[in-house]
Copies of this chain bind each other. A is one copy, B any other.
């Protein structure tokens, strides 16, 4: 079976066989155990992660010492701290495996030279980023216009299988309300 990343790229652009060889020679699959962190606050993030299996979350620890999940990534998503990656500054985030996961980690330097060798790849990343940004615009819309209960039901309706995969308290903080309140929503006690 072909590499999941190559398959994903081919959904958006065409690749010469020689490009595929070049690309594959640069990819390194790595396994990440549940709860393992692949990025910590304060580190400079110089890696992009393509998730081939499992789930990675981006979170912070807020001023009260409580974890706050800001983003989930699952199969066929890229995840990184884009600001730290781009500007070589200390990251504000943690990246951690929610389940035992597998990722393709590409180092910034390697990716940059790959993008020069395979110019077509630029289009792939441009499209992926535009789609991600579009999704983020919608997320802001939902956060701004829906009540906590509406956000929960909306998410539950659209991603029912995903809701099963992550602890409720992580999902609650991703949807920007407390774990206790989520419990009450689920019990119909609001």
Question: Which A residues have a C-beta under 8 Å from some C-beta of B?
Answer: 58, 60, 62-63, 68, 70-71, 81-87, 92-93, 115, 119, 122-123, 125-127, 129-141, 143-145, 173, 176
Contacts and interface: CB of A to CB of B under 8 A. Distances in A.
27 contacts: A58-B137, A60-B144, A62-B144, A62-B145, A70-B141, A70-B144, A71-B137, A81-B137, A82-B130, A82-B131, A82-B133, A83-B131, A83-B135, A83-B137, A85-B130, A86-B131, A86-B134, A87-B134, A92-B141, A93-B137, A119-B119, A122-B122, A122-B123, A126-B126, A129-B133, A136-B136, A140-B140
**8 residue pairs, one from A and one from B, having the closest CB atoms:** A82-B134, A83-B134, A129-B129, A122-B122, A126-B126, A136-B136, A62-B145, A125-B126
Contact of A122 (B71, B82, B119): B119
Copies of this chain present: 2
Contact of A126 (B129, B135, B144, B173): B129
A123 B124 CA distance: 10
Nearest to A125: B126
A48 to B, nearest CB: 10
A134 to B, nearest CB: 3
B134 A71 contact: no
Nearest to A58: B137
B63 A145 contact: yes
